[in-house]
């Protein structure tokens, strides 16, 4: 079994693959203060709950946008599972063509999403990947090449900023109210966040389509993808496993190369 780990600014997502199929997935909050031992105990506990022996894990791969956790996670996998994980970093084979001023600036998660989308959806038409994470990112793929994108504020971070920057606004659940014309503070805030981000997605996708000269296939992933997708017709596909499936694909690609 292979373990795939996506280290994000807010959450760390795990998937254990048995062959090409995910046996189980889970996520935990990203915590810079946790040690390798703490992450190891956390992972072993989840394996036990899902009836997987730690000896069954024979390989691993991770992507990270939190450099200070790279050693922690790699050391944890070596110490508790006896494996040296592959990492999404320069030198790892991805097969992805990129049109970027500085390819090293492109986040590991964006690279994985691009590779995963091309493998699953093909290169016959342009693809836009919208990842609703700590930031809201738009990746644009055309003719099998990553040609650029957009980085906008994240949904949760925007809400946190709104709450922390005001004296009386409460923390609310991120869900759509019944009407955009809201009648109390909570639904006013929910309308602004959910419908506001739905509008942001629609506008950016339309502008991307105009620049491409054709309508792209829009694939949404990330924690709030379903909430926003319900409020706009700009999103064609929700793929919550895009990153983790991409990691497994890249693990296999680079394992075959080493044989």
Which candidate in 18, 70, 109, 131 is catalytic? 109
DSSP collapsed to 3 states, the chain: CEEEEEECCCEEEEEEEECCEEEEEEEEECCCCCCHHHHHHHHHHHHHHCCCCHHHCCEEEEEECCHHHHHHHHHHHHHHHCCCCEECCCCCCCCCEECCCCHHHCCHHHHHHHHHHHHHHCCCCCEEEEEECCEEEEEEEECCEEEEEEEEECHHHHHHHHHHCCCCCCCCCCCCCCCCCCCCHHHHHHHHHHHHHHHHHHHHHHHHHHHHCCCCEEEEEECCHHHHHCCCCCCCEECCCHHHHHHHHHHHHHHHHCC
Are 57 and 213 spatial neighbours (Cβ–Cβ below 8 Å)? no
For the question of residue 236 being annotated catalytic, the response is no
Q: How many CA atoms lie within 13 A of 200 on its CB side?
A: 18
Q: Which residues are catalytic?
A: 109
């Amino acid at each position: 079994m292979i373990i795939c780990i996506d280290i994000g600014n807010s959450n760390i997502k795990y998937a254990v693959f048995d062959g090409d199929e995910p046996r189980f997935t889970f996520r935990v909050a990203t915590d810079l203060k946790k040690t390798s031992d703490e992450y190891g105990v956390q992972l072993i506990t989840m394996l036990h709950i899902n009836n997987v022996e730690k000896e069954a894990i024979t390989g691993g791969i991770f992507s990270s946008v939190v450099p200070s956790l790279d050693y922690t996670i790699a050391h944890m996998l070596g110490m508790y599972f006896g494996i040296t994980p592959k990492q999404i970093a320069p030198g790892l084979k991805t097969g992805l063509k990129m049109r970027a001023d500085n390819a090293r600036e492109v986040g590991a998660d964006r690279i994985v999403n691009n590779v995963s989308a091309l493998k699953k959806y093909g290169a016959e038409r342009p693809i836009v990947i919208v990842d609703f994470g700590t930031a809201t990112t738009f990746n644009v793929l055309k003719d099998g090449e990553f040609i650029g994108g957009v980085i906008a504020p994240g949904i949760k971070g925007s809400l946190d900023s709104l709450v922390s920057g005001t004296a009386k606004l409460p923390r609310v659940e991120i869900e759509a109210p019944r009407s955009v014309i809201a009648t109390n503070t909570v639904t006013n805030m929910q309308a602004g966040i959910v419908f506001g981000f739905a509008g942001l997605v629609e506008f950016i996708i339309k502008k991307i389509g105009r620049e491409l000269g054709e309508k792209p296939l829009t694939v949404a992933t990330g924690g709030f993808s379903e909430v926003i997708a319900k409020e706009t017709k700009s999103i064609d596909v929700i793929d919550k496993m895009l990153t983790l499936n991409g990691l497994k694909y890249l693990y296999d690609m680079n394992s075959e190369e080493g044989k």
